[in-house]
Structure 1
Amino acid sequence: MSHPSVSRIGRTLTGLTAVAACSAALLPTTATADPARAPGTQLASGYPNLAPTPPMGWNNWSYYQCGGLNEKVVLDNARALVRNGLAHKGYRTVTVDDCWMTKQRGPQGELVPDRTKFPHGMGYVGRELHKMGLKFGIYEDVGTLTCGKYPGSLGHFAQDARLFASWGVDYLKADGCNVPVAKGQSKEQAFHDLYAQQSRALRATKRPITFSVSAPAYFQFSGDAVWHRVIKWSAQLGNLWRGGADIAVQQSTSAAKWKSIEGNFRYNANLADLQRPGRWNDPDFLLVGDPGLPRNEMQSQMSLWAVMAAPLISSTDLGKLSPQAQAILGNREVIAVDQDPLGVQGHIVQQDGDAAVLSKPLRNGDRAIALFNGGNTTRTLSLTASSAGLPAASSYRLRDLVTGRSGRTAPTIVARDVPPHATVLYRVRAAR
């Protein structure tokens, strides 16, 4: 991680379509095609559905990256989740991202935790998290090296999966920074083969390990046909998938953080038809609580991620959360929209310049409606109840999930004077 201020996918996006060529030129071409798992085929019954609702938790990457990662940081943030009540509200998976290991494998080919960063080892981290009632997530790469140039799992899938299971790992985030492409193989085939091997290795452990696939992020600019196809097979191999660019990191400017949040929202909102209950589009981490983000922008990310049924994975210093940021992350009614058991991602039902309106059906028949003002001036946003997918009625019960105010509305639903970069999130039902 020689450039910690630039995100991993962000670095590869500068030449995303050249990733395979670069990998092939710089790294051994040890990947071999698996005809039985060619793109378009499926595992026997797909990866087990270990995430019936979008995963929630914390990951160190965006705030700490490699330089700030250590055992104390991970466990302190885990304790903060418990202490501030966010764990009780669903934020339970604590994931250690890249750079947790040494640069070389051990004498038996095993991954070796960096004892300077993790003096008690990773099994200890898992046990401590489990004692707190939390789940343990870890990071690896399906290629030869991780993005930070630590050993990848290629050639060691079964061995690494067994090691993770022995440590009590509950969640694996598998990146794809250094995937070599063998001669005669397409980039997509190479990615599919390695992610399929990882998927099978996790299943073989018999431990329920939620599997986060990063493959689609490496195809965001390969054309929609390819990108969407990669998402479809990722949904067979795992439980959630990173769709595109990394979210901004802590050192980024306030403007860059907002641009990143808005950009990831806009690409992810257009993938709603590729998600299904238990298989989640992941637009990356929540920056709520990060320095430089005003309340409207933090609330927008939380509300938009919730209406998109996105994983809610915080990546900030939870010990320094302001009361405002903690209230945003812990809003039970907004979390309930994200975690609704129907498991449907909200669709864009209306767009007007920088503004967008999304509607998400909920299990009890309500609709969650997000009215987002992405522009730089205050606007009044509205839509009809019918365009939101609500049944015909003379009036509707409406609750603002951020302010907590409830009332009735006519068949035209209005959000008045929405500030720049703000989102109004309503829960609406037909009045009886």
Structure 2
Amino acid sequence: MKLNGILPTAEEKESSGGEGKIDVEHGCQGATMKDVSLALKPPMGWNSWNIFRCYQLTEEAVLGIADAMVESGMRDAGYEYLVVDDCWQAFARESSGKLRSHPARFPSGMEALGEQIHARGLKFGLYLSPGHKTCAMIYDRYPARDIGSFEHEQLDADTLAGWGVDYLKYDWCEAGRGGTGLTYPEAFSRMAEALARTGRPIVYSISEYGRTKPWEWAADYGHLWRTTPDIGASWRSVMKLVDRQHGLAEFAGPGGWNDPDMLEVGNVGINDVEARSHFMLWVMLAAPLMAGNDLRTMTAATRHTLTHPGLIALSQDSLGRQGSRVARQGKVELWRRELADGRVHGILNRGGRAVHLQSRDGGIVLDSGRRLVTDDGQLVCVWTGEPIDADGWSAALQPHEMILIRSDGRH
């Protein structure tokens, strides 16, 4: 499904009885209702996995992050979802089949946790998986049994809705094993239908790591879908994931977004320059911005990157068009993204040596004379907010550094 298949047509709106819902039948389990209005812009928030993983995930830690989201200015910058990933669950379901929180690490329960998150002006996200097991059971030896949602889809969706959950990350985790017989689209459509039946508006994040080209089918069900394997805290990992985004721009837009995974900004393994470039690339890709660092102890540089108003404005641009790499010159890449009121050019130095840029005749050229940007509009450096003179401006891009240059759109 391409961009024009994500937004509802007039006929779809009329048949669904609502402005933002799509009623889609693909022969899986009946009709799937998707409210595109829940994600007209790329979702922004924080996810627990990168920093807490499994056994360090606790109620106290989550509420500490919630407080940090408020105190650091992240909430006010647009980060609204606090998503508790795998390992929040007790090792077994209740006798009724209902999921429950881990009694030692989340003693107050998930409904109470959600209330605390909502009281801070944030929205509450949780994690489930469609098979018998979650990923932590497979890869982290989490000693649970049958806490996956297989044949519990409606019960689990109703449980989350009752707890006030606003966002669901649904993670494949080899759901086809153990005799389930699940296929990827079937597994994710089942939960989409269950969520729709709850009547609660819940953003639905589909995570199957790009294995089955979800950009071609997941927009029928989800608001965002993973296009890649898991990210790691290294420049190499960031570049590998970025390279997998080429050719996917046409499949994303208001209501449904390509998701190259969470951010590693602020985590050990990526320096401040690389972290800033990583963030800029996710902005150019119109990707969801889900922070994955410890907000309680982040540096001023990390906070500045994550809350930079110019970058956030680009991320949340109302046109919702994903940007792309459009040219290469050696280790230098040129990126471009169209905006509602102009465009933004990105120049990325992927190499190990500094490269020098200068303005000439209203454009940007390398020191070799190769022209990278030609734009007659007023150019502004997004990071500094300063205009770029038609002649006389210069800058040096350090290894792994990126610069974004916004134009007002005149030709």
TM range (shorter): 0.7 to 0.9
The answer to whether residue 404 in structure 2 is matched with residue 404 in structure 1 is: no
SS in 2 for 1:368: strand
Any idea what SS the aligned residue of 1:80 has? Answer: helix
SS at match of 1:296: helix
Deviates more, 1:355-364 or 1:106-115: 355-364
* Kept after mapping to 1: 8 A contact 2:266/2:272: no
Query: What letter corresponds to residue 209 of structure 1 in structure 2?
Result: I
1:415–1:334 CA distance, 2 compared to 1 (3 A): farther
Distance 2:45 2:184 in 1: 27
Counterparts in 2 of 1:208-223, with a 5 A limit?
208-215=201-208, 217=209, 219=211
Give the CA deviation at 1:368: 1.2
Q: Does 1:279 align with 2:256?
A: yes
1:305 is aligned to: 282
Over residues 345-385 of structure 1, what are the superposed CA-to-partner deviations in whole Å (9 max), with x where a residue is unaligned? 01221123433211111112x11111111111112468997
CA drift at 1:44: 5.7
Paired with 1:414 and 1:45, the residues of 2 have a C-alpha distance of 52
RMSD across aligned positions (CA): 2.7
Matched, 1:88 2:81: no
**Who is 1:62 aligned against?**
50
Amino acid at match of 2:198: T
Alpha-carbon distance in 1 for matches of 2:232, 2:186: 30
**CA pair 320-181 structure 1, distance change in 2 beyond 3 A:** closer
Provide, for residues 186-240 of structure 1, a one-character-per-residue CA deviation record: whole Å limited to 9, x for no partner. Answer: xxx711111100000001100000000013x151xxxxxxx43x32211111000
Mapped to 2, the partners of 1:342 and 1:214 lie a distance apart of 25
**1:330 positional shift:** 0.8
In the alignment, structure 1 residue 126 sits paired with structure 2 residue 114: yes
Equivalent residue, structure 1, for 2:148: 152
The residue matched to 1:148 in structure 2 has which SS? Answer: helix
TM-score by length of 1: 0.79
The aligned amino acid for 2:133 is L
Shift in alpha-carbon separation, 1:361–1:109, aligned structure 2, 3 A:
same
Structure 1 match to 2:103: 115
Shift in Å at residue 49 of structure 1?
A: 3.6
| Residues in 1 aligned to 2:135 and 2:200: alpha-carbon distance in whole angstroms | 26
SS of equivalent to 1:425: strand
From the superposition, tell whether residues 414 and 195 of structure 1 become closer, same or farther in structure 2 (CA, over 3 Å): farther
Gap change, CA 1:349 and 1:392, over 3 Å in 2: closer
1:240 aligns with one of 214, 224, 246 = 224
TM-score if structure 2 supplies the norm length?
0.83
User: What CA distance in whole angstroms lies between the structure 1 residues aligned with 2:31 and 2:355?
Assistant: 48
Residue in 2 that maps onto 1:334: 311
1:367-382 alignment runs, 5 A limit: 367-380=343-356
Corresponding position of 1:161: 157
Q: How many residue pairs get matched?
A: 369
1:6-27 deviations in whole A, cap 9, x for unaligned? xxxxxxxxxxxxxxxxxxxxxx
Amino acid of the structure 2 residue aligned with 1:180: G
SS of residue matched to 1:319: coil
Tell me the equivalent position of 1:18: none
What 5-or-longer segments of structure 1 have no aligned partner? 1-35, 220-226, 250-256
Letter in 1 for 2:324: H
Cross-structure match for 1:315: 292
- 3-state SS in 1 of match to 2:273: helix
Deviation of 1:291 after TM superposition, in Å, equals: 2.5
Structure 1 residue 416: Cα displacement: 4.0
CA distance in structure 2 between the aligned counterparts of 1:82 and 1:310, rounded to whole angstroms: 22
Deviation at 1:430, TM superposition (A): 4.9
User: Once the 2 structures are TM-superposed, how far is the Cα of residue 294 of structure 1 from its aligned partner?
Assistant: 1.7
The residue number in structure 2 matching 1:344 is: 321
Number of the residue aligned with 2:270: 293
Tell me, what secondary structure is at the counterpart of 2:311?
A: helix
| Structure 2 match to 1:207 | 200
2:363–2:390: 8 Å Cα contact kept in structure 1? no
Verify the 8 A CA contact 1:37 1:192 in the aligned structure 2: no
Question: Does the 8 Å CA contact 1:181/1:190 hold for their aligned counterparts?
Answer: no
Given that 2:332 and 2:347 are in contact with CA atoms closer than 8 Å, whether structure 1 keeps it comes out as yes
Is there any run of 5+ residues in structure 2 with no aligned partner, and where?
1-24, 138-143, 365-372
**Rounded Cα–Cα distance in structure 1 between residues aligned with 2:132 and 2:216:** 24
Distance 1:163 1:44, change over 3 A: closer
What SS does structure 1 have at the residue aligned with 2:154?
Answer: helix
In structure 2, the CA distance between the partners of 1:190 and 1:320, relative to structure 1 (3 Å rule), is same
Asked if the contact 2:32–2:192 (Cα under 8 Å) also holds between the matched residues in 1, the reply is: no
Q: Is the 8 A contact 1:96 1:139 kept in 2?
A: yes
Structure 2: how far apart are the matches of 1:42 and 1:377? 56
